[in-house]
Amino acid sequence: MIFYDCSTAPSPRRARMFIAEKGLEIETRQVSIAEGAQLKSEFLALNPRATLPVLVLDDGTVLTENLGIAACLEALHPEPPLLGRNPAEKGLVAMWTAIAEQQGGQPVAEVFRNGNPHMKGRAVPGPQDHDQIPALVERGRARVATFFELIETRLQNSPFLATDHFTLADMTAFVFLDFARVIRTRIPENNRATRTWFDNISARPSAQI
Amino acid sequence: MIFYDCSTAPSPRRARMFIAEKGLEIETRQVSIAEGAQLKSEFLALNPRATLPVLVLDDGTVLTENLGIAACLEALHPEPPLLGRNPAEKGLVAMWTAIAEQQGGQPVAEVFRNGNPHMKGRAVPGPQDHDQIPALVERGRARVATFFELIETRLQNSPFLATDHFTLADMTAFVFLDFARVIRTRIPENNRATRTWFDNISARPSAQI
């Protein structure tokens, strides 16, 4: 297997964390988004959608998208289970992962991509350029605030987002909340359950790499 | 189990189709989005995020999000497999489902929610109102056009999006492409592989309900 990573970007960080939590060592190649390496012909031949992470299996199968990589690795290496141990848990992990992606990660990315001067023309990931839409910055900030309250309510009643143990849903929300520093947004002081959960995950070895 | 459905909306249609493909009969309750029933206190007590579909398990677990419902039902009822039969296929199904959601469904929804006069204030699903952003209509249409070419290229080389058989990835793309009628967009005439794929899925009993 070969894992294509970018050490500065949130999406490949999710896969990197998943691989570390599984205890796997996979040959890794860095693709520098800062240098636009994901838009060069060599990488586009591998993933024409120009996104990271990418995992190439030994049979040559090319997997993109975090959910694709996670589903494959969970099936190959079931321990420790990161996508749920039974049908109800599998449902809850997939559900909270989707909520974290769509209601947390997406608005953080919209604020960053549509508001940061360095992202001009790069408002949507992929090979096509799209102009920034400044109105998405304000909408995104409002949605991020809603997401903070959503997960605080959940974490006041559950040690982890989806189940009673650490899963892909926690990794997903953690990575996007940590990335929210680029839009100068932090977990509100009063959201104590979220802050405790965040600090605990930050201390895991998989969060240090 | 109880399945909360809305017969006019694309997201619950994905779950309805998945249930039908599994050959399951689940007690179903309609929630009329046209009448705003998803925003009433009775439904918000079930799903405070005000989205459909919802599946309530016999133990009371409430699953929202299509991926959550699909992951649980696949684990409970493995046949026929709709999320892949082996690790590589599981990866490919999750990957193409994510691509269909983010690069197909999301821009179709953005054009509809930000451009249709009936969706004023409802630009984002959920209990909060958000103003429409007209610039998302143009961006969304450009992204839908890109998605048509993306899947045409794929379907010229594969009978189905993810693997050699029908999976959740096909359901996802099919439902969003069919829903694209609300933004007056159809599969381009020249995209023959996509049209054949679409017509074949339309003929399945699960697409008729």
B67-82 tens-digit pLDDT: 999 999 999 999 999 9
Chain B positions in Cβ-Cβ contact with residue A64 (cut-off 8 Å): 95, 99
pLDDT in tens, A59-84: 999 999 999 999 999 999 999 999 99
Least Cα distance to A149 among A184, A103, A202, A94 occurs for A103
In this prediction, residues B143-151 reach a mean pLDDT of 97
Give the per-residue pLDDT at A159: 97
CATH superfamily name and code, A2-76: Glutaredoxin (3.40.30.10)
Interface test with A, best of B92, B113, B168 (most A CBs within 10 A): B92
Between chains, do A93 and B84 touch, taking CB under 8 Å as contact?
Answer: no
Q: What mean pLDDT is predicted for residues A103-126?
A: 96
| Helix (H), strand (E) counts: chain B | 8, 4
Q: CA-to-CA distance for A110 and A124, rounded, in angstroms?
A: 8
| Chain A, nearest residue to B55 by Cα | A91
Identify the CA nearest to A15 among candidates A88, A82, A107, A114.
A82
Q: In what order do the strands lie in the sheet with B27-30?
A: B27-30, B2-5, B54-56, B62-64
A67/B139 CB distance under 8 A: no
Contact between B150 and A69 using a beta-carbon 8 Å cutoff: no
Task: Note the pLDDT of residue A30.
Answer: 98
How many Å lie between the alpha carbon of B90 and the closest alpha carbon of chain A? 6
In the Cβ-directed half-sphere of B180, how many Cα atoms lie within 13 Å? 27
Count of pairs with CB atoms under 8 A, one residue in A, one in B? 144
- CB-based contact A72 B64, cutoff 8 Å: no
| Per-residue pLDDT tens digits for A39-65 | 999 999 999 999 999 999 999 999 999
Query: Are residues B104 and B173 in contact, defined by beta-carbon separation less than 8 angstroms?
Result: yes
Which residue of B65, B66, B161 is the best one to mutate when testing the A interface, meaning the one whose CB has the most A CBs within 10 A? B65
Which of A59, A32, A63, A74 is closest to A167 using CA atoms? A74
Q: What is the pLDDT of residues A185-202, one digit of tens each?
A: 999 999 999 999 999 999
Q: pLDDT class for A23, splitting at 50, 70, 90?
A: very high
> What is the residue type of B154?
R
Cα A53 to Cα A5: distance, rounded to the nearest angstrom = 6
Backbone phi and psi for residue A62, each to the nearest 5 degrees, phi listed first: -105, 115
CA distance B73 to chain A (A): 7
Q: For the segment B2-53, what is each residue's pLDDT rounded down to a tens digit?
A: 999 999 999 999 999 999 999 999 999 999 999 999 999 999 999 999 999 9
Residue A152: what pLDDT?
A: 98
Cα separations (Å) of B65 from B44, B92, B145?
15, 20, 26
pLDDT tier, A95 (very low <50, low <70, confident <90, very high otherwise):
very high
Q: Using an 8 Å CB-CB cutoff, list chain A residues near B86.
A: 75
Compute CA B201 distance to the chain's CA centroid, rounded to the nearest angstrom: 14
CB B84 within 8 A of CB A115: no
Domain ranges of chain A: 2-76, 87-204
Q: Which fold is adopted by the domain B87-207?
A: Glutathione S-transferase Yfyf (Class Pi); Chain A, domain 2 (1.20.1050)
Place of tokens 């016999």: B58
Model pLDDT, residue A150: 97
CA distances from residue B156 to A138, B102, B171, B188, B195 in whole angstroms, order as listed: 41, 21, 18, 14, 11
Q: Are residues A57 and B90, on separate chains, in Cβ contact within 8 Å? A: no
Find chain A residues with C-beta within 8 A of B146's C-beta. 126, 128
CB pair distance less than 8 Å for A142 and B135: no
Could you confirm whether domain A87-204 is CATH 2.40.50.100? Answer: no
Cβ separation B76–A59 shorter than 8 A: no
pLDDT at A63: 98
Q: CATH topology of A2-76 equal to that of A87-204?
A: no
ipTM value:
0.97
Of A65, A91, A131, the CB nearest to B68: A91
Rounded to whole angstroms, the Cα distance separating B209 from B199 reads 16
Question: What is the band of B114 on the pLDDT scale with cuts at 50, 70, 90?
Answer: very high
**In chain B, what's the furthest Cα-to-Cα distance?**
50
Q: What is the pLDDT of residue B5?
A: 98
Q: In chain B, what residues touch A99 (CB-CB under 8 Å)?
A: 49, 64-65
Residue A143 has its nearest CB partner, among B74, B90, B124, at B124
Q: How far is CA A143 from CA A8, A77, A150, B168, in A?
A: 24, 36, 10, 28
pLDDT value at position A191?
Answer: 98
Average pLDDT, chain A: 97
Cα pseudo-dihedral B59, A174, A136, A102, rounded to 10: -30
Which residue in A has a C-alpha nearest to residue B137's C-alpha?
Answer: A133
Backbone angles phi, psi at A75, to 5 degrees: -70, -35
